[in-house]
Amino acid sequence: MSRIEDLEAAKQLIEMQLKDIDSILTKVPYGLEYTFWEDFTARIIDRIYGNESSQRHGFEQAGREGCFSVFESYSEHQRREDFIEIVNCKKEYLENLIKDLENRLRGSGTELTTEEHREVFADLSNNLEDILKSEEVSPLDRTIAQILSKIEDPSRFTEARSNLLELRDELLKPAPSWAVLREHMVWLILFGKKEFFSILPFIVLYVRKIAD
């Protein structure tokens, strides 16, 4: 897929997707209209930032923290409330992407490659506070940083960082391996209930692309 080099055109494409949000909010939660809008917006972000970019993952993850109402067992009211929250978070994320593009048009923006975004986590012990304060990191990265920031024991911190980042890297692959994910999920369950449920929404988000 070819990249969009015209930043003004890229900005206009995202603005068009933002205009659809009011209509999307009136539709069936997680229905066909929403799924089409989300997938099409993700493809636009790919055209701007490159395939499997951190910006695309950030858009997909926006609003998913703690939202489990994608499951049919949840009440219609709860599904609607969570749906509105998710869409509004995606709206805010797209608005931030527009600000980023405007900064680049003025020559003041910065673009991180996927590899550079992974480098943000190269030494988490030194920059957890920066990650927690940053508006640029993805919701999944922020959740991982929140978990790690509460660990005081150095050996437990190292173990948690290794497992969480391997889980993260596997989730962000085009076709994550269920065998690999399962291993880290078992570790996470044993590590702590709260920590497991804070990561679970992101696993649910990517379940459709997980390979058996």
Q: How many CB atoms lie within 10 A of CB 113?
A: 12
Contact assessment for residue 178 and residue 210, using Cβ atoms and an 8 Å cutoff: yes
Q: Which residue among 75, 105, 135 closes a domain? A: 105
Query: What local confidence, expressed as pLDDT, does residue 71 receive?
Result: 53
Tens of pLDDT, residues 87-145? 998 998 899 888 888 887 877 554 444 444 444 455 454 577 777 766 667 788 888 98
Q: Based on the domain organization, do 28 and 92 belong to the same domain? A: yes
Q: Based on the domain organization, do 202 and 154 belong to the same domain? A: yes
- The number of distinct structural domains making up the chain is 2
Contact assessment for residue 125 and residue 145, using Cβ atoms and an 8 Å cutoff: no
What mean pLDDT value characterizes the chain? 81
Q: How many CB atoms lie within 10 A of CB 145?
A: 22
Bridge partners (DSSP) listed for residue 211: 177
The residue type of 183 is: E
Q: Which residue among 85, 105, 125 closes a domain? A: 105
Q: At what angle do helices 54-61 and 139-149 cross, to 10 degrees?
A: 80
Query: Rounded to whole angstroms, how far apart are CA atoms 80 and 86?
Result: 10
Q: Which residue among 71, 105, 139 closes a domain? A: 105
Task: Tell me if 1 is assigned to some domain.
Answer: no
Q: Which residue has the higher pLDDT, 75 or 59?
A: 59
Q: Based on the domain organization, do 125 and 193 belong to the same domain? A: yes
Q: Based on the domain organization, do 118 and 180 belong to the same domain? A: yes
Q: Based on the domain organization, do 90 and 118 belong to the same domain? A: no
Percent of the chain past pLDDT 70, that is, above it, reads: 81
Q: Which domain holds residue 184?
A: 114-209
Q: Based on the domain organization, do 83 and 131 belong to the same domain? A: no
Tens of pLDDT, residues 161-196? 999 999 988 988 888 899 999 999 999 999 999 999
Contact assessment for residue 14 and residue 101, using Cβ atoms and an 8 Å cutoff: yes
pTM: 0.64
Q: Based on the domain organization, do 100 and 16 belong to the same domain? A: yes
